[in-house]
Amino acid sequence: MKTEAFKTIRLALPIIIGELAQMALHIIDTAMVGSINYKQLAAVSLVFNAMNIPFVIGIGMTISVSQMVSMAHGQNDDRQVSHYLYNGFCICALTALLISFTLFFGKDLLFHLGQDPEVATLAVPFMQLMGISIIPMLLFMTLKQFTDGLEQTRTAMLFSLAAMPINIFINWLLIYGNWGFPRLELLGAAWGTLITRTLITLALGAVILTHHSYKKYIQLRKEEWYLRRSTIQELLHIGVPSSLQVGMEAGAFAVSGIIIGTIGAVAQASHQIALSCASATFMVSMGLAQAGSIRVSNAFGRSDWPLIATIGKSTLLTALAYGVCCALGFVLLKDHLPHFFNSNAEVVSLASMLLLFAAIFQISDATQAIGAGLLRGIKDVRTPTLLIAVAYWVVGIPMGYWFAFHGGMGASGMWLGFISGLTFASIFLIARFLRMSKRNAPVLVS
């Protein structure tokens, strides 16, 4: 158990660093725009909430690439690895175009969500540019899933880290109008994101096409780079439920953010601060979940069920310990973290309160992500999708709405709903994985 835990952590660390770097881009935008005024901070929150559902659905589709590549890699089948790369890239590119088109032309939806009119007006052009940036981002994630599936997780990590100083510099130029550039404020952040995502996607693509680590897969392009219906069906079998899983989870948070926005701009800005902090810690859980899923998928390709069970249990224990540490950190820093985003006294006070609720759900948030990832690694996606749907949309959202508006708790009530949904998901997903790994493990007869 200890050995497998360290192997998973070693694989997960570059993924975690890369995920945190990508999340940092959102936090950087939020903090740099928030320093102007809280209305623009609320506009960032509105757009991120509105586009988060389609965005993570696209990311869910890219997950199928790492799962199938990892399984083929576990079977030492280079041809299949190359074939999954091409078919997965085509599927994800089409998905990116559809999502970008929907967000760009669906901008007027922001005026029909009961938000502050000034906030919605500020948000429309920001959403259009952010919608375009979905294309390079999902293409980057597709290539990242390919390298991660081969357990070469440092490659994409380096580009994710490089994106941070690039994004900060472009933001500094365009948000504040330094060095003679126009002062674009909110739009400057959107342009910074679009330019940064495009640069790192082109760079990662160039490495995969030219580096010796991937040469044997690229050399097979003449034989394996063609579309095949059965391959597309395999990828969609993983990709569609994975998209629904992460989409329903992110959707629950996004809808909750929109509901909180109907309370007022202060509540929405406070919610965005607390959610940004919670999302940052969740990236570590997601990194562990992806690493555990990749390792389980690799073992699944060889039908090594004892190893699958050991990897799963060790990863769950690691996530549990991490969740406890995050909870303690949020409690200790709840009065300090909000000041990094905004100086408005009302916003800081409410955000501090919401961070207490975020601390409570850190354990269930971490373990439910691991449970879903492990089940994905053994190609069990349909029932977990149903469990996640119930957790967020039957338990979490309704309970949060009741606590917020009928229980008189306001924004805190929605966060209490988060806790309920995440706990439900954690218990049932973990129980399912433990049951399936035990059921499929071979019986040794002496």
Q: What digits encode the pLDDT tens for the residues 247-256?
A: 888 778 778 8
pTM: 0.80
What is residue 276's predicted lDDT score, i.e. its pLDDT? Answer: 79
What is residue 443's predicted lDDT score, i.e. its pLDDT? Answer: 43
Q: What digits encode the pLDDT tens for the residues 11-47?
A: 888 888 887 787 777 777 777 887 777 778 888 878 8
Q: Give the pLDDT band (50/70/90) at residue 338.
A: confident
Asked if residues 253 and 52 have their Cβ atoms less than 8 Å apart, the reply is: yes
User: Higher model confidence: residue 339 or residue 292?
Assistant: 292
Q: What digits encode the pLDDT tens for the residues 425-440?
A: 999 999 999 988 887 6
Mean of pLDDT over the chain = 86
Q: What digits encode the pLDDT tens for the residues 134-151?
A: 999 999 999 999 999 998
Asked if residues 420 and 365 have their Cβ atoms less than 8 Å apart, the reply is: no
Most confident of 153-162, 191-200, 360-369, 400-409: 191-200
Q: Give the pLDDT band (50/70/90) at residue 441.
A: low
Q: What digits encode the pLDDT tens for the residues 275-327?
A: 878 877 887 888 899 899 999 988 888 888 888 889 999 999 999 899 899 88
Q: What digits encode the pLDDT tens for the residues 199-224?
A: 999 999 999 999 998 999 999 989 99
Q: Is the pLDDT of residue 377 over 90?
A: no
Between the CA of residue 190 and those of 48, 168, 195, 446, what are the distances in Å?
11, 12, 9, 64
